[in-house]
Structure 1
Amino acid sequence: MTLTRRVSVIVPTFDRLAMLREALACIRDVEGSGIQADFEILVGDNGLKEKTQLLCLEYGAIYVPAHVRGPSSARNAAMGAASGDFLAFLDDDDAWVRGHIEPHLAYLDAHPEHDAVFGQAIYTDPDLNPVSAPWPAAPGSGDDLMRNMLSGVFAQIGTVVARRSVIDSIGYFDTRDMGAEDVDWLLRLATKKKLGFVATPCVLFRGRAPTDAQERLRIRFARQVFLRHALPNALRLWKSPFDMMRSYHKQLFHFYQHFTQKAIRCAENGSPGDVVEALKVPALYLPLLLASEFVQPRPLRTALLAAGRRWLNGGAGSPGWIVRWRSDR
């Protein structure tokens, strides 16, 4: 049987050879599972070039150097070299599961008005052991889909298959949006009502604890992407400014949790300065949400009150001036 479809698989990488090997192996495994298409793997690399080239040769992948740091640049370089009818994506630290791709191709065949379709991801631990059910369950369509995507529903890029013509219609990934470039790219499709969904598990999404520096950077760009897409479409997506604000809070809530949970840990084990540092980000980006923590006896308020009593009594983490004041009494 002659295969007439070609799927160009875009894999950005940067100095993670062991994970890249797993990613390339799982792509070839999906290709060999009976799917009626052949795969062209393009590895966009802005890291260890010689070693990555050798690994690409081993898996029959095309090596594409990217001369600017960041996953957007690596993806864009690979997309520019793609020759397939369709584009699929996989980050080098994630893994596809069998059953991916074919439902997406069938969906695009049945919906010529759509340029791309995404499926479901499964959160895993660092060893790719699943820790969640497939998500999202039912993200909606049209304006409902876009509103949900601006309210915390995350379309993971590894679940996406797009027509290659999408490059002409919406362009490449924005290299300025570090950590939010995939959300921006998919929202461009959702704005045009060109994005569909299939309830099919597609990718194992490897979980790793982010650093504070990473989250500070990501929340800044996530906010920019939200405003970029929300403001021009606000009148058709939300009934009131309060509804839009609720979506904004949902979109950034996982960043909020990261820093408020750190503030609780610092209140229990650290100093007032550590707590203040942890709360700077939520105070800057989500001040109303942070203020609501102090209206009711929530964990953050409880932890801060307990820490305040401990510090005033000269306990662990007390500022030096309180310790000196108590010793002079």
Structure 2
Amino acid sequence: MRQARIVSVIVPTCDRPRFLDQALASIRALEGPDLTFEILVGDNGSNHDATGTVTQLHGAQHLIVTTAGAGAARNAAMRAATGEFLAFLDDDDVWTEQHIRLHLQLFDRHPEVEAVFGQVVMTDPDLRPIARPIPDDVRPDGDHLKMMLDGYFPQIGATMTRIGVRDAYGYFDETLLADQDWDWQLRIAGGRHMEHVAVPCVLFRQRPSGSYDALVLRRIPYTRKVFLRHAIPVWRKWRSPKEWLHSYFATLLGFYTYFADAAVERAAKGDAKGVRFAVRHALLVFPFRAVKQLVTPTPLRAAFLWSIGLGARPLAAEDTALE
């Protein structure tokens, strides 16, 4: 009988013991005679007692980190890892029962593969799915670097690597307080030894729409920095400057959509100031698209005109349904 595989699981956390408890439980639920997890929790929060209690409950190692950021927490855990493979999970997400074993099978079939990423299921805060698993397709040429630079951000909870990537590609960039996981996975994808399994691996909690302006604004400059860091050296992947710019804006599209949707939702709630704030930042993120939607009949235009006193307040979807 084959000895159980040991996978080191890297879990960054910051003062969310209730979520962390769910995350660690989902990891332990996958163990069996063939599979053992070494769980390493990098904790750069302030409530170490509560976090320590949860980690102890699940037999995890509790590593206190003094540097802020998920990158620093992950690095501390990675340095302590002794398993054959590395896997990851953020403290507010959970693994599905389908995760890990298909990754291992692919690693066993293809010794040259360094990393495998799976599908992600977006959920509401109560872990109820709100969308189909993504990605639902991948590039047929296997160029996952180009796929990511065209706007795909693989959620690291669905990614697994051989322990050797730690030496081959280094650790997370701790100067990046956002998108350090995207940056790290882009490095690995650049080695052209990354593969994909079409199976839902992680339930990825989403915050309520329009509720995290500060987080989005903080992330935008890091997303730009990471894109330029990886896209400029491989500019020949694009057939023209226009295509290169299309990829650049594709990486920012989610931020634009966040603010455009927030403007419409805030208009329905009667928050004129919030509408103007959202429209201003939509313009800063994606000016051409924003202008187009502001001069043509769109929900964004209706929301903005109301916010400056030039139109009726748009109704919320549920209010429209009652008419």
Q: TM-score under structure 1 normalisation?
A: 0.87
Contact kept, 8 Å, 1:3 with 1:38, in 2: the verdict is no
2:200 aligned partner? 201
Please give the secondary structure, in 2, of the residue aligned with 1:310. Answer: coil
How far does residue 306 in structure 1 lie from its aligned partner after superposition? 4.7
Contact 1:9–1:41 at 8 Å: present in 2 too? Answer: yes
The C-alpha deviation readout for 1:144-186, integer Å capped at 9, x for no partner, is 4222212222211000110111011111111122221111111
The 1-side partners of 2:130 and 2:103 are apart by 24
Q: CA deviation at 1:141?
A: 5.9
1:2 CA drift (Å): 5.3
Paired with 1:42 and 1:71, the residues of 2 have a C-alpha distance of 13
1:66–1:73 Cα contact (<8 Å) kept:
yes
Quick check: 156-165 or 220-229, which moved more? Answer: 220-229
SS at match of 1:24: helix
Shift of 1:76: 0.6
Are the equivalent residues in 1 in contact too, given 2:138–2:147 (CA < 8 A)? Answer: yes
| Equivalent position of 2:234 in the other structure | 233
Structure 1: 5+ residue stretches without partners:
317-329
Q: Is the Cα–Cα contact under 8 Å of residues 10 and 44 in structure 1 kept in the other structure?
A: yes
Structure 1 counterpart SS, 2:283: helix
What is residue 43 of structure 1 aligned with on the other side?
41
- Matched with 1:299 is 299
What is the CA–CA distance in structure 2 between the aligned matches of 1:190 and 1:298, rounded to whole Å? 39
Change (3 A) 1:270 1:131: closer
Contact 1:151 1:251 in 2 (8 A): yes
SS in 2 for 1:174: coil
- The answer to whether the 8 Å contact 1:23/1:94 transfers is yes
Q: Secondary structure at the match of 2:103?
A: helix
- Structure 2: gaps spanning 5 or more residues: 314-323
Correspondence for 1:18: 18
Structure 1 CA distance for aligned equivalents of residues 141 and 254 of structure 2: 25
Confirm or deny: 8 A CA contact 2:275 2:307 kept in the other structure: no
CA distance in 1, matches of 2:298, 2:132: 28
Aligned equivalents of 2:251, 2:61: Cα separation in 1 = 36
Q: Is the 8 A contact 1:141 1:196 kept in 2?
A: no
The 5 A counterparts of 1:239-258 are 239-258=239-258
Structure 1 residue aligned with 2:288: 288
SS at match of 2:76: helix
Counterparts of 2:303 and 2:56 in 1: how far apart (Å)? Answer: 55
CA distance in 1, matches of 2:294, 2:278: 16
1:180-225 deviation digits (Å, cap 9, x = unpaired):
1111111111112122111111111111134111110111211111
Residue in 2 that maps onto 1:223: 224
Whichever of the two has the greater Rg, that structure is 1
Q: 1:1-329 alignment to 2 at 5 Å? A: 1=1, 3-32=3-32, 36-47=34-45, 48-140=47-139, 144-209=143-208, 210-236=211-237, 238-266=238-266, 269-271=270-272, 274-308=274-308, 310=310
1:134–1:274: structure 2 CA closer, same or farther, 3 Å change rule? closer
One-letter amino acid of the counterpart of residue 149, structure 1: M
Aligned partner letter, 1:161: M
Most deviating of 51-60 and 15-24: 51-60
Counterpart Cα distance in 2 of 1:304 and 1:149: 33
**Residue type of the alignment partner of 1:59:** H
1: CA distance between counterparts of 2:141 and 2:42? 32
Q: Give the structure-2-normalised TM-score.
A: 0.88
Q: What amino acid is the match of 1:170?
A: Y
Q: Could you say if the C-alpha distance between residues 11 and 186 of structure 1 is closer, same or farther in structure 2, counting changes exceeding 3 Å?
A: same
Residues 1:286 and 1:192: Cα distance change in structure 2 (over 3 Å): same
What is the CA distance between 1:14 and its match in structure 2? 0.9
What's the RMSD between the two structures over aligned residues? Answer: 2.1
Q: Report what 1:322 is aligned to.
A: none
8 Å contact from structure 1 (residues 120, 200) kept in 2: yes
CA contact (8 A) 1:10 1:88 kept: yes
Aligned residues: 309
Q: Write the letter of the residue equivalent to 1:8.
A: S
Residue pair 1:114, 1:195 contacting (<8 A) in 2 also: yes
Deviations 1:7-61 (A, max 9, x none): 00111111111111111111110113x6x22111111111222222222222111
